[in-house]
Structure 1
Amino acid sequence: MKRSAFVIALFCLNLVFFSCGEPEESNEEIPMETFRDEVQATSVMVSQSETKSFDYLINATGKIEAANEVMVIVERPGYLIELQVEEGQKVQAGQILARLDKTDSQMEWERAQVDLRSATAEYQSRRIAADVETTIMDSLESSERDEFWKASSGLLSAQIAVREAERNLEKTEIKAPIAGAIADLQLKKGSLVNAGDEVCLLLSTDLLEMKVKVLESDISFIRKGQKAEVYPVSGSGEGISGTVGSINPKVDENGLVQVTLNLQQGGSLLPGMNARAIIRSPQNNSLVVPKEAVVYRSGRPVVFTIENNEAIWNYVEVGKDNGREMEILDGLLTSQPVIISNNVQLAHQAPVQVITE
């Protein structure tokens, strides 16, 4: 019994000893500035928000077309005895492309000339015999009498026949109606052709155009004469400059509006080639930042500014985007320093160190 009481007393003494030996926990809160001092500053690059003219870029795709495109056709039947062009060749307006056998046309013209001379002789004889005409002729003016003699002698119809023969003779030479390049050459030398047969397609490759479809929400930013750049869809080859030539005042069933771009030189672009266009729409007095300054947190755009070497989180409302800069509608002031690098994982009031390239 005494032994058991001794053991219990010894256990209680040990318990008191170890309890007195444990250090007391401190309830004092450590300031956040202490933790920030221990975190290494993030190296960042900065730019500035600016109020300036901002080019809103409208992107669209379409096909390159020749501004002038004419199908050259045969106007009278005959044998094609000469073909003076080949595909891809550039020609001038009025240049002879091909010749037909003109034997029949030449005979028609000569026959018309004979008829004309006969009618002229008859006309002259009627004028000489005017003094023996009835008194009805005396009631006519001299110009009316002259027209009467021309009609009755057959001179008028003969003159018309000569002009028709001359036109038919001219049609034996097939000429270029416009300047351009030969495409889709259909005929070969020596072939028998009929009126209406297609010879070739003539394209004005030095004056191109491009028809693109633009969203109806963007059409208010487009005006005639605005600048545009056009590039091959393939990405190869240099782009060419152009201007907005016309805007179709109709929205189609897909909510798109057709815009025609006038291109001044062909470069590496050819009719029928797929291309993409960038139409520039200047916006005056817009607050803009580099696109890299805008990051998204939970789907909302954020821009970090700098105060006292700390990143400051700013929710912003963004507007238009031109690929290099972004318009800020609300949330920033002009001339504020904005962080444009290493800002994806930044936190509010995180320490930063500004560096330069």
Structure 2
Amino acid sequence: MGTKTNVLRLFLVLALLLGLAGCNEATGGDGASADSTKSESKDKDGDTKNASSSGDSDDEKSDSESDSASKDETEKKKPKKEKVTNVNASKVQMGDLIVPVIAEGTIRSRNEAELRTEIAGRIDRVYVTEGQFVKRGQMIARLDDRQYRVELTEAENQYLEALGRLAVDEEKLDSRAATDRLTTSLEDLKDQLNRGVISRKEFQDRQLALEVDAVRDGAYRGDLVQVRSGIAAARAAKDRAALNLERSEVRAPFSGVITNLDLTKGERVNASEVICRLVDSVNLEAKVAVLESDLKGLEEGRDVRLELPALAETLQVTLDVLSPQIDPESRTCDLLMRFKNPDGRVRPGMFVRAAIAGDIYRDRLMVPREAILTRDGRPLLFKIKDKRAEWVYVQLGKSNDRMIEIEKILQGGPLKPGTLCVVSDHLTLTHNAKVKVKKVVEPEVAWAKPETE
């Protein structure tokens, strides 16, 4: 009985376990089926979405192509904006074309001197310093003058003493009539000598005889009395003492700048010793040498342009001196151009380059050199007409450093004085291109003012 019961229980447990196992399989199958359903659903959804996305993309592409086509059509309908080139322009000129002669040289002072002492002595005072500007007559230095003042006083006293002796012999003074007769006779004698009537020896002999006779008649008596009284010697001594006193002072002979001053108070100097140098910094001149082959056409009074590279300045002057001789070694001729330098900026010794007005070609049609271009080996320029650049092919003639002659119009003319031509930003310019003039540049004419119609 107990054994049957245990068997029955075991059977029930096995049956229960088998039942549970069947439920689990059924449940797992449903889950797989469900997952499969979900997967299929997802795949269907994905296909649906992909299809939808593909449709949307095709629609967008179609819209984009439509917009692009519409935009191209709009752009084709709008006129393209024409490019405008900004340029500088200058007027065509009619005038004299001057070809310069170029020469180089230096600046020098017109007045330059070494100041020397005229007498020996000790320096009592120095009135100037190195580099100081002095005026004409201004005191430079003074020597000790006490000795010369004493000598002047002595000479003046001797002169007064001699003058007193002369006053005592006043009645012995010469006869005016005798002096007048001697003067007339000597003039006649000189006339005979000049006409060749008498020789030089005869003239001297007869002159001596006339003077002796005149002295006997009372001529020169005053001079003789002065010599005997000592007044003549006293007057000479007085003048000599005054001259020595004047020479103790060293003064500026002209206005200028003191240089090379090496002088100290108390220093002893000899006669004719150099104490400094005086340079006129206002009155200057440029000295240049021109080859003899370039002298043709040059003459005094021609306009000259002086270029000073050290100051980046150019001076307008004239040719003042054309040397009459040629240096046999260098085969050059010296030219001088004088000018004022009131502010002292230009200094003697500076390098200078001179452009001297040489050959003159009258009434020439010309443009600035900047206006000329070369295309395919042919010179041309662009003239401006109705705000457009038109090429003009030309034949060139004479030129200088600023202007060039238009000898002949080959193509694209006419070209008249006053016509604007392009002088900048035209390297890539084309015919009939639209331009805008930023500035009208007036051509700088170095020597002659051109005539513009």
TM-score, length of structure 2 as denominator length: 0.57
Q: Which residue of 1 aligns with 2:333?
A: 257
Question: In structure 1, what residue type is equivalent to 2:116?
Answer: I
> Aligned to 1:168, what secondary structure does the other structure show?
helix
> Aligned to 1:148, what secondary structure does the other structure show?
helix
Q: Which residue of 2 aligns with 1:303?
A: 380
Judge conservation of contact 1:42–1:351 (CA < 8 Å) in 2: no
More strand as a share of residues: 1
Provide the identity percentage: 26
1:356 aligns with 2:356: no
Unaligned 5+ runs, structure 1: 1-39, 131-135
> Aligned to 2:320, what secondary structure does the other structure show?
strand
Question: In structure 1, what residue type is equivalent to 2:416?
Answer: S
> Aligned to 2:232, what secondary structure does the other structure show?
helix
Distance 1:94 1:44, change over 3 A: closer
> Aligned to 1:251, what secondary structure does the other structure show?
coil
> Aligned to 1:112, what secondary structure does the other structure show?
helix
Distance 1:335 1:222, change over 3 A: same
- TM alignment of 1:100-111, pairs within 5 A: 100-111=143-154
Distance 1:291 1:241, change over 3 A: closer
- TM alignment of 1:282-297, pairs within 5 A: 283-295=361-373
Question: In structure 2, what residue type is equivalent to 1:72?
Answer: L
Judge conservation of contact 1:92–1:176 (CA < 8 Å) in 2: yes
- State which drifts further: 280-289 or 93-102: 280-289
- State which drifts further: 250-259 or 98-107: 250-259
1:82 aligns with 2:125: yes
Q: Which residue of 2 aligns with 1:211?
A: 287
Q: Which residue of 1 aligns with 2:256?
A: 180
| CA shift for structure 1 position 291 | 0.5
- State which drifts further: 166-175 or 262-271: 262-271
CA distance in 2, matches of 1:279, 1:197: 42
1:242 to 317, 321, 325: 317
Count how many residue pairs are aligned between Structure 1 and Structure 2. 305
Judge conservation of contact 1:64–1:211 (CA < 8 Å) in 2: yes
2:111 to 61, 65, 68: 68
| CA shift for structure 1 position 196 | 0.6
Judge conservation of contact 1:137–1:145 (CA < 8 Å) in 2: no
Q: Which residue of 1 aligns with 2:35?
A: none
Distance 1:328 1:223, change over 3 A: farther
TM-score, length of structure 1 as denominator length: 0.71
| CA shift for structure 1 position 187 | 2.0
Q: Which residue of 2 aligns with 1:159?
A: 235
Judge conservation of contact 2:111–2:280 (CA < 8 Å) in 1: yes
Which structure has the larger Rg over C-alpha atoms?
A: 2
CA distance in 1, matches of 2:349, 2:124: 32
1:117 to 160, 164, 174: 160
Judge conservation of contact 2:119–2:270 (CA < 8 Å) in 1: yes
> Aligned to 2:258, what secondary structure does the other structure show?
strand
- State which drifts further: 275-284 or 83-92: 275-284
CA distance in 1, matches of 2:222, 2:424: 95
> Aligned to 2:159, what secondary structure does the other structure show?
helix
CA distance in 2, matches of 1:150, 1:208: 52
1:230 aligns with 2:306: yes
CA distance in 2, matches of 1:301, 1:341: 19
CA distance in 1, matches of 2:123, 2:404: 63
| CA shift for structure 1 position 42 | 12
Distance 1:312 1:173, change over 3 A: closer
Q: Which residue of 1 aligns with 2:351?
A: 274
Q: Which residue of 2 aligns with 1:144?
A: 220
| CA shift for structure 1 position 239 | 4.4
CA distance in 2, matches of 1:255, 1:339: 44
| CA shift for structure 1 position 150 | 1.0
| CA shift for structure 1 position 76 | 0.3
CA distance in 2, matches of 1:138, 1:215: 67
Judge conservation of contact 2:108–2:286 (CA < 8 Å) in 1: yes
| CA shift for structure 1 position 84 | 0.3
| CA shift for structure 1 position 319 | 1.3
Task: State the Cα deviation string for residues 244-297 of structure 1 (Å, max 9, x = none).
Answer: 221113333444332111112244111222233344567531221220234568
Question: In structure 2, what residue type is equivalent to 1:171?
Answer: R
Judge conservation of contact 2:123–2:141 (CA < 8 Å) in 1: yes
> Aligned to 1:356, what secondary structure does the other structure show?
strand
CA distance in 1, matches of 2:365, 2:229: 86
| CA shift for structure 1 position 63 | 1.6
CA distance in 1, matches of 2:120, 2:378: 72
Judge conservation of contact 1:71–1:200 (CA < 8 Å) in 2: yes
More helix as a share of residues: 2
Judge conservation of contact 1:44–1:352 (CA < 8 Å) in 2: no
2:397 to 293, 302, 318: 318
Judge conservation of contact 1:321–1:327 (CA < 8 Å) in 2: no
CA distance in 1, matches of 2:326, 2:432: 51
Cα root mean square deviation, aligned = 3.7
CA distance in 2, matches of 1:301, 1:221: 32
1:335 aligns with 2:378: no
